[in-house]
Structure 1
């Protein structure tokens, strides 16, 4: 499949009375926009083509779904005051945009060298990242949003699936609620897990819909972890980081895993 074919398929899938399409040949990007609000979303075609080679129609279905959900909430101004229980922190890569398409800065907090914290207002099937204009409109302080987001995060399930590979234990959290990687910010959850781990504890968030905790008991475990996180990272819809973190003394330290060993950054 090439860009021309993908462009045609997406235009057919996303066609609507109030929508317009524009294609930037130089950047190989397709923009879908609401003709009334002039708000829209721009998608890069090469990345979708790469996923299509692996996942075929599933890759296109996924893109179409997220575009539809994003367009559905654009132009709406939900009230934070009425949605206190729906505010959550969201983990993203430090390369993720810090501004909305209109140039309005998102509300963010620094986290690690690999990750940044954003804040979202849950809207059911999707969510809207909170930006400074929404905060100003609702007269909400940064600290209030942080407190509500952390409180709501602790209410989410932390049920894990367990797997053993070469004498090492790996735990997976993958509820697909949009906040799996965000459990990285649940301090009590991480502390409780550290009490169960017999070896060295690692935490990985290769993409937004998974969190992996490793109980690494031998050097092979690091090789397995490196391969696992890279696989999740390359196949995730919203990649975060292929690096993992050591969890020691209630702190996260990024590590670079080489063959038969690991090095702290």
Structure 2
């Protein structure tokens, strides 16, 4: 079976069709928006990346998207309260190309991070989470700085056990708990500094998608090539891709790097 955007759109519409739902197809962006007619709230699915993943993982990809959309629409249909649920607020990392506002054009509550990544904030709801927007923060009378501090504190409480692999004298560490906040551990400065103290070569960090964080102890040129292949592989297979670029970590700062052949060059983007 050959899959393309047209067939993927048809498959999703058939599987997600329910009374009270509508589908909006954006031909230019090749995306499908699934929306509740009652609330006007919905979720947008980019079809091209989904088709690429389908060719690698077949129907498992569609099952994951169906689950993700159903959960998101279920949550959107409920009134969410943030006050009193501070322990469930976490930061999440997204690409700078990720939308900065909701489908209703309400700005998300965000902070700058690096030239490649941006920090969003989420209320954990168990099987999914809701990204916090500025309207919700204002409506509940929350102190934005307090929300940031709580989220950072909560992410520091998450486990940081990593798997280790050595390839061509380079050491790679992988954090992949699938709790939705693996990439968010990049904001745990104490954790990063502890790893930096252990590393013998150059410390490089990567968050190719939401559910993985990679730390490389790069000791030779081959290590950069291996890291580039790893990050690209994870980036193309993740449910929520972030960036295929990696970051050097030095003196508490992250700086994106481009890895070219057997050389690596720092980008102009400065980390914070």
What's the TM-score bracket when you normalise by the shorter of the two chains? over 0.9
Instruction: Give the gaps of 5 or more residues in structure 1.
Output: none
User: Residue 25 of structure 1: CA displacement?
Assistant: 4.4
How many residues are treated as equivalent by the alignment? 265
**Structure 2 counterpart of 1:199:** 201
Partner of 1:231: 233
Structure 2 equivalent of residue 32 of structure 1: 34
Matches within 5 A, 1:234-245: 234-245=236-247
Q: Verify: 1:246 aligned to 2:248, yes or no.
A: yes
Task: Map Cα deviations across residues 13-37 of structure 1 (whole Å, 9 max, x no partner).
Answer: 2122332234344543322221211
The correspondence for 2:165, drawn from 131, 141, 163, is: 163
Question: Where do residues 67-146 of structure 1 align in structure 2 (5 Å cutoff)?
Answer: 67-146=69-148
Relative to structure 2, which stretch is displaced further, 78-87 or 22-31? 22-31
Q: What secondary structure is seen at the aligned counterpart in 2 of 1:89?
A: strand
Q: Which moved more, 1:59-68 or 1:97-106?
A: 59-68
State the partner residue of 1:182.
Answer: 184
CA contact (8 A) 2:207 2:246 kept: yes
Counterpart CA distance in 2 for 1:225 and 1:27 is 31
- Structure 2 residue runs without a partner (length 5+): 268-272
Contact 1:254/1:264, CA 8 A, preserved across alignment: yes
Is the contact between residue 77 and residue 134 of structure 1 (CA under 8 Å) also seen in structure 2? Answer: no
1:230 is paired with a residue whose SS is: helix
Provide closer, same or farther for how the CA distance between residues 221 and 132 of structure 1 changes in structure 2, counting only shifts above 3 A.
same
TM score, norm. by length of structure 2: 0.93
Deviates more, 1:116-125 or 1:250-259: 250-259
Pair 229,20 (structure 1): closer, same or farther in 2 beyond 3 Å? same
Work out the CA distance in 1 between the residues paired with 2:206 and 2:5: 33
- Confirm or deny: 8 A CA contact 2:161 2:175 kept in the other structure: yes
Report the equivalent of 1:43: 45
Match of 1:264 in 2: 266
Question: CA separation in 2, counterparts of 1:226 and 1:179?
Answer: 22
TM-score computed with the length of structure 1 as normaliser: 0.95
| Structure 2: distance between partners of 1:66 and 1:196 | 38
| Greater Cα shift, 6-15 or 85-94 | 6-15
1:212 is displaced (CA, Å) by 0.2
Query: Residues 184-228 of structure 1: CA distance to partner in whole angstroms, max 9, x if unpaired?
Result: 000000011111111111111111110000011111111111111
Find the residue that maps to 1:21 and give its secondary structure.
Answer: strand
